[in-house]
Structure 1
């Protein structure tokens, strides 16, 4: 046994050594993020983001300049690093606007875009101490070579160069979400702000980001596919492991094993009455036998997000009350999806869904005609029917829900009813929360459901849970027994 162990360790060391030599080739410049040279399995030549070329990033900046007022300057700071403790940072996620315009995925930089200067990037400077602890970062050379900036300077030059650029501009726009004192406290910025010449950049970037390019849609489809596969595997898992925390861990594992970088948000895993808490996030209860579990999940693939929800009974069968309410939500979901087409709006779809659900709740006896019926309905469903989806979960929110939809826009359709245990209504419905959420792409002729592979019909869900989970459960139990024996 010791000889076998020694050979395995030697072989492991050899493989790791080969991997290190291949990665650390002196011909590859570390850009602080994947590049075609360092990650040829991920990016093709000319791509900054997998599937998105430097030409597309240049095109985005040109279109932004066409939208900006004449002689204006856009200032976009990267997202800040947020700390969990004094020395431990939270996982970094780049600001969507900064990423959309540059493709740069590291903190500490500022991008400036103007009609005269084009893209000018101020990049963080690399210090030996930081390299030892955190690795290489993208600097001035990377800004020019990889991100295709017209000009690039180290951040130490910001106070010397940026005030003059601002002074020569008649208007300034900046990303309010990532604005930092470093440039906001400059006299030139203060003068522009005092004169009312500073605007929020999102007014312009959200208009650009709203309609997705073919490359963006490919990533959104892949992100949706990963989330669907992960949630389906988690549904199978739920019969043997009906614990909110385990289901949350399972879906995250399945997403990341399929290539997702992170979850789009903390998974909502609500068992029983917890499902009636819309953004429930504790995920610390056991799902009781006979209760439903509501899972709202999404993942991020190279900056593009998915978002879907399914509700099912881990025990394998819906109760009569659960099924009655589920059928109402499912019918609303399907009818609202059919309303998705160019020219309509989220607001119009929402009004239809509200009337549909209100009528259905009255028929089920959950709501009764009264002067306060709309107030009572709002207590059971205070949510909107959906939202835009893209680089942020609630994408391009500055456009509003009245915007007529266009081909290339992706939205969610997510009707739901959330009945708390203390609700003054029929007892058999108390403590039931149900949501069915799909991602829908608006096309030239109508719509495409990006999450259509994820089952939502009652008969399909019950069949899957009762016929296809057996092999999964047996395998898991065998693995657990094997682990305990070894």
Structure 2
């Protein structure tokens, strides 16, 4: 990290010049500009409906005030990274600029959107860009980028002329929130001291945000797929004798970030040796006993959308883990077959019922205790909720209560947990100290779009709704997968068609002596590589040699293998001396 030598540069931050945003391409968000516009329109319609039905003032003017996050600093000149935008602000604008404010003024007929931005605060744009990168300072261009009517310097917020007798919609938490620009927000709010004020703006926004659009579903689907792959690779690459939790955390973060534009949605939990009983354990620096259970709770952030998943790696206390897995499956099955209203509160109650049932069946809970006492015990053993919304925040739409009916477009987690304290006398001592949870992310969608997403092979029929398990891609225990067909399907589910995944499928089927299917996969891998704009010929020849090997095994001799290779020389590489030499070398190796 470089220190700023000329402190006058930093001190000049108090001398305001022109508005700016860091260079930004809203198309990179995965959400269209029209969708951001539609979100603002939907919020305005909700406000109008509220004013008409609750305030009985349909013709009244209204003002919506929504601030962005401020950039937080670890110390002088050192900002926390990556910057996390205030989710409601991002939902309505797509803007990632810190310290901005969105103001929407309207009535029952029209509305306008205004974005207030900080001014560029160095002596020149060139000076700023030398330190922080390209900017956009043209107000009209900024309006076009975000589909906003007008852009103002943020210091003009306090003097902006407002419609007369406006009802103010904001969120009272803004007053105490350390992550927003209170310097500009608080004086502005004081202008409404004699007005009607609704301080629950977030409740309107969360009712909108809880229903994910098709574009949002695709983003969450993608981040869940990538996180699943990171989990699996972490399991594969962490040796059974791994010594410390921080090594698992480091491996998981590496596996996430190497997949592309991913960051951590939250600080991961890596809890070994019963430390999962600390539900939000975060030290991640303790030693791991041999053959001990390791619980990894982690999630990724992709284009501002989150995933949240939990798996365990290995455990001697298999019996309890199987109970937890059964409860998890039963909850999914219930949603699959339910013909009544479903809520997260109902899922919580069902999880408790299932847990009591299976713990009793395994004689972990006494069959003689009455139902009320059993419920009290379960509240100790299962203190966490079974589900939460997922989206721009890991615990998304916090104002959507557990009693609310789940609807198409909701993305929620299913995460039963079992935490047995060492001090619990109601279970045998052998089980005390066990703690684990299983977490999957699911989407409820309408029946009429079944065909549009069926191709993902992640669908379960669900009366007039349908359930998509984003995390069918991550099996309960990767190390338990023995059946070849299941392994092949597993690879199909988690990876998009690619040279690597198709070759892996070819390898699986080849070693199972399913030669015809292996040839299909290898040929598909070859076709994918040859379609690439940057062909890797080492891959091409490796695949050719794999195909030749399949022919040899299929026919029981090397004649077919050599014939295939000689045919390549006579057709595809007849004018390519270098590549022909590579194939001749392979033929010599076969005969040798």
TM-score by length of 2: 0.66
Aligned partner of 1:295 in structure 2 is: 296
Residue 59 (str. 1) matches residue 2 (str. 2): no
> SS of 1:182's equivalent?
helix
Q: Is the 8 A contact 1:385 1:415 kept in 2?
A: yes
Deviation at 1:242, TM superposition (A): 4.3
User: Which segments of 5 or more consecutive residues in structure 1 lack a partner in the other structure?
Assistant: 1-29, 36-46, 469-486
Q: 1:395 to 1:405 in 2, by over 3 A?
A: same
Deviation at 1:130, TM superposition (A): 4.5
Deviation at 1:138, TM superposition (A): 4.9
Higher relative contact order at CA 8 Å, sep ≥6: structure 1 or structure 2? 1
Aligned partner of 1:265 in structure 2 is: 266
Aligned partner of 2:104 in structure 1 is: 113
Residue 339 (str. 1) matches residue 329 (str. 2): no
Q: 1:33 to 1:364 in 2, by over 3 A?
A: farther
Deviations 1:207-239 (A, max 9, x none): 111111111000000000010000101111222
Deviations 1:387-426 (A, max 9, x none): 0111111111112011111111100000110123343332
Q: How do 1:244-283 and structure 2 match up within 5 A?
A: 244-283=245-284
Q: Is the 8 A contact 1:312 1:461 kept in 2?
A: no
Residue 375 (str. 1) matches residue 376 (str. 2): yes
1:304 & 1:174 partners in 2: Cα distance?
22
1:250 & 1:297 partners in 2: Cα distance?
12
User: Which segments of 5 or more consecutive residues in structure 2 lack a partner in the other structure?
Assistant: 1-19, 52-57, 447-464, 489-592
Computing the radius of gyration from Cα coordinates, the structure with the larger value is: 2
Q: Is the 8 A contact 2:310 2:440 kept in 1?
A: yes
Q: How do 1:141-160 and structure 2 match up within 5 A?
A: 141-160=140-159
TM-score by length of 1: 0.80
Residue 443 (str. 1) matches residue 445 (str. 2): yes
Aligned partner of 1:484 in structure 2 is: none
Say which is worse superposed, 418-427 or 255-264, in terms of deviation.
418-427
Q: 1:193 to 1:48 in 2, by over 3 A?
A: farther
Say which is worse superposed, 126-135 or 443-452, in terms of deviation.
126-135
Deviation at 1:286, TM superposition (A): 2.1
Q: Is the 8 A contact 1:268 1:280 kept in 2?
A: yes
Q: Is the 8 A contact 2:230 2:256 kept in 1?
A: yes
Deviations 1:248-305 (A, max 9, x none): 1111121122124311100011111112221111100122112111111110100111
> SS of 1:81's equivalent?
coil
Residue 82 (str. 1) matches residue 72 (str. 2): yes
1:333 & 1:231 partners in 2: Cα distance?
18
1:193 & 1:333 partners in 2: Cα distance?
51
Q: 1:339 to 1:417 in 2, by over 3 A?
A: same
- Out of 349, 352, 355, which is 1:354 matched to? 352
Q: 1:325 to 1:431 in 2, by over 3 A?
A: same
Residue 198 (str. 1) matches residue 178 (str. 2): no
Q: 1:62 to 1:175 in 2, by over 3 A?
A: farther
Say which is worse superposed, 84-93 or 276-285, in terms of deviation.
84-93
Q: 1:257 to 1:436 in 2, by over 3 A?
A: same
- Count of aligned positions: 417
Q: 1:191 to 1:105 in 2, by over 3 A?
A: closer
Q: 1:48 to 1:157 in 2, by over 3 A?
A: farther
Deviation at 1:194, TM superposition (A): 6.0
Q: 1:88 to 1:175 in 2, by over 3 A?
A: farther
Aligned partner of 2:585 in structure 1 is: none
Aligned partner of 1:218 in structure 2 is: 218
Q: 1:93 to 1:33 in 2, by over 3 A?
A: farther
Residue 127 (str. 1) matches residue 121 (str. 2): yes
